[in-house]
Amino acid sequence: MIRQIIKIDKEKCNGCGLCIDACQEGAIGLVAGKAELLRDDYCDGLGNCLPACPTDAISFEEREALAFNETEVKKNMAHQEPENLACGCQGSSVMAHQEPENLACGCPGSSVRAIQREEAATPAAVPATDVPAPSNQSQLNQWPVQIKLTPVDAPFFNNANLLVSADCAAYAYGNFHHDYMRNKVTVIGCPKLDNEDYSEKLSAIIKNNNIKSVTVVRMEVPCCGGIEEAVKTALLNSGKMIPWQVATISVDGKTLE
């Protein structure tokens, strides 16, 4: 049958594997260091892999291809080992037991993407640092933001000023976007609720990318110290000399010294 299906340009492909993580059906694999569509009948033609590709190597084409075999895809996914599953988003019991570090997340909501924003006009007589961002102007520059979901080799990390924040901070501090997120790549988490040490993931991010600076924003509550300690450990593990700073937010929304 003639239908829409993905096409991979091997000349553009850099072998990063992000499309494999994004394809929850398991249609894509690496062959000789390049991404390749392994099975036509596993490709649903919806293109969750397209926004994950940092080199725009994936596109759609109309061609003769086997029909999408949803039944076979589900069987294949059910027989995968937990560490090879794309994401716990589909509600199956096997996927629900996947370890957090292996969340590639093939669900569309976790596709890796950079967000381009236009700078708001600044009055000439007022320094840019003193101008508050418009109340409806988001300063988020990439997706996803959860530490557990963000791939360590996401292209937006390279040459980035990294913000590592407790997720509560954005709710407690009213001008969080303008004062902390602006011109940074943001990752968030809660060491208490996630019940894990983020240092391994953060170490990989810092080691594998040219991070220019690190800012930590935490709450004043003791349990939030885990995110600060994780960053300290990650910086030590990386062996890099990177400028970093910590800001502490009180529960009533003030910046503490």
pLDDT digits (tens, 9 = 90+) for 86-114: 444 443 333 333 333 344 444 555 567 77
pLDDT at 101: 39
Q: Which residue has the higher pLDDT, 132 or 57?
A: 57
State the DSSP code for 181.
I
State the DSSP code for 109.
G
Mean pLDDT computed over 38-66: 91
pTM of the shown model: 0.56
pLDDT at 107: 54
Give the C-alpha distances (Å, rounded to integers) separating 185 from 50, 85, 221. 21, 27, 24
Under 8 Å between Cβ of 28 and 63? no
Under 8 Å between Cβ of 37 and 60? no
Is 224's pLDDT higher than 60? yes
Q: What percent of the chain has pLDDT over 90?
A: 53
Query: Which amino acid is present at 127?
Result: P
pLDDT at 115: 76
Q: How confident is the model at residue 123 (pLDDT cuts 50, 70, 90)?
A: very low
Is 121's pLDDT higher than 90? no
The C-alpha atoms of residue 86 and residue 95 are separated, in whole angstroms, by 8
Residue 224's nearest CA partner among 206, 205, 248, 256 is 248
